[in-house]
Amino acid sequence: MLELGCGNGFEAEALAERFPGWRLTATDFDRGMVAATAGRLARFGERVRVERADATALPYEDGSFDLAFAVFVWHHVGIWREATFEARRVLREGGSLVLADVRHPLAHEPDRGILAGTYGLEALRRAIADAGFRRMRLGTGAGPWYRLVAQA
């Protein structure tokens, strides 16, 4: 499993505790976050790795992971479409990309929200399809966020 944008490691820690048989690679672009998360997750030993990585140019071979996920991260990625293509590249056939992120409910443009880094759901749908994902399930809540599961 690959976490893109692990931040302080909260999600990785929760998953490592809940699923002791899983192997997890937690990544972030920020060196400070990587260092803090590495310390936080050291108790899990070799089954949890923490690495610095750019989501738009991942240092992993094609088809390396069964699952890639990002929680409240995609709007921070400068070129989120490239990160979407990279996530697809590193997933095995049948693997899944799971995203949960913010979108602005008052977006004036179909491809970009008012808040810096946000984007419209139509742009996200196009990026998922263009990246080569076969199926997608997209849900929105009452607030300014969405959740997506796309199958490679």
Query: What is the full DSSP assignment across 72-121?
Result: S-GGGSTTHHHHHHHHHHHEEEEEEEEEEEE--TT-SSSS--SSTT---H
10-18 vs 31-41: helix axis angle to the nearest 10? 30
**For 58-89, what is each residue's pLDDT tens digit?**
999 999 999 999 999 998 888 999 999 999 99
| CATH 3.40.50.150 assigned to 67-152 | yes
> Could you give the residue range(s) of every CATH 3.40.50.150 domain in the chain?
67-152
What is the per-residue pLDDT for 107?
A: 46
What is the per-residue pLDDT for 75?
A: 86
User: Residue 3: which H helix or E strand, with range?
Assistant: strand 2-4
pTM of the model: 0.90
- Ranges of the chain whose pLDDT falls below 50: 106-110, 112-114
What is the per-residue pLDDT for 143?
A: 75
How far is Cα 69 from Cα 23, in angstroms, rounded to an integer? 14
**For 124-135, what is each residue's pLDDT tens digit?**
999 999 999 999
